[in-house]
Amino acid sequence: MAVQITKLSGADGFILVDFEDAPHAGGIVRLAKKVLVDGAVNLARHLTYGYAVMQVEASGASAGINTDPDGRAVALGAFVEEARRSSVCFDPGKGVSVDDLAPVSEHDSRSPLHLGLAEHLRGTSMCSALGAVRGTSGLRVCTEVDLPPAVVARFVAAGLEVDHAGAEGIGAPCDVLIVGSKPALLDHDSIAGVQASVIVPAAPLAVTARGLAVAARRGIVVLPDFVTLAGPLLAHWPDQAATTDSLDREVAARVDMVIRAAADHPEGAWLGAAEEAERFMSTWRDELPFGRPIP
């Protein structure tokens, strides 16, 4: 199934949605001199698989606004006009602020719970995924990316201390490596220097397909980013009785279930989790999206 792409009128840009007929859709908006459609498709697909992991019938989406600084106001205005006609719920990405999206926030159908819980639930899904494959006792954890305080707090609560090593952290001697400073950070070359036995993505698309293959040959477990980052998605359209505590427990349980089911897959946890997500998608769709979310 091909993604639905709508071009902005009045500016150079687009809004794309994986499943046009999904009950809900969510994604990020990025603004830059050139936002590539291929990258936007991967970001939307990453969210589609994340929603499926959380067993939410929703589609990933993504938007790109191409402009130089002088044309920013006009381009944002064109996006706002198009977004008002869309049912997609948007979050700010690179080059876009919360204030920029204020004109379309009144159309946001998501629960207010998602606003304050995103980082906490992201930490929960990261910790739960790690716990499912290695536990959380006596591990040395290094990160090459700055983590929000709420994410660090979840690791601390799990009994883990996170050492922020920056770019040098990729080759640091540790048990667990947290990555995510940029897309395609770990390719077939850079992953050769990783000493950790588990890689935990803290941002989408940090590991390439070839990097994943090299990791598998070296016996390194790469946790799927669409699982480690899926926690906040459960708070987008929760049941009416949802609370902070109930969402936290449900995120931890669902991530644990998916990773434990995926861990024994002969081609690794990433592919196993992708198939778990696709099984859920198949319960409410006749067709799956074309291609999986990996650069």
pLDDT tens-place string over residues 43-65? 999 999 999 999 999 999 999 99
Same domain, 236 and 252: yes
Number of structural domains (the chain) is: 2
Residue keyed to tokens 């709508």 = 6
Alpha-carbon gap, residue 136 to 158, rounded angstroms: 6
pLDDT confidence of residue 5: 95
Contacting residues for 195 by C-beta, under 8 A, at least 6 apart: 171, 172, 173, 174, 177
Q: Is the distance from CB of 46 to CB of 201 less than 8 angstroms? A: no
Q: DSSP letter at 169?
A: G
Residue 294, domain member (yes or no): no
Give the domain-ending residue among 81, 108, 135. Answer: 108
Whole domain around residue 196: which residue ranges? 114-281
Low-confidence stretches of the chain (pLDDT beneath 70) = 1
Residue 295, domain member (yes or no): no
**CATH no. for residue 94?**
3.40.50.10860
pLDDT confidence of residue 31: 97
Residue 286, domain member (yes or no): no
Residue 87, domain member (yes or no): yes
SS3 63: strand
Same domain, 172 and 273: yes
Residue keyed to tokens 């996170």 = 162
Give the domain-ending residue among 76, 108, 140. Answer: 108
Same domain, 100 and 144: no
Give the torsion sign (CA, 111, 154, 170, 198): negative
> What sections of the chain are H helices per DSSP?
37-53, 72-84, 102-105, 113-134, 149-157, 209-218, 225-228, 244-262, 269-281
**CATH no. for residue 274?**
3.40.50.720
Same domain, 144 and 101: no
Residue 289, domain member (yes or no): no
pLDDT confidence of residue 1: 65
Same domain, 151 and 49: no
What are the counts of helices (DSSP H) followed by strands (DSSP E) for the chain?
Answer: 9, 10
Q: Closest Cα partner for 177 from 154, 201, 156, 150?
A: 201
pLDDT confidence of residue 239: 86
Give the domain-ending residue among 51, 78, 108. Answer: 108
Same domain, 151 and 100: no
Same domain, 162 and 260: yes
What percent of the chain has a predicted confidence (pLDDT) above 90? 90
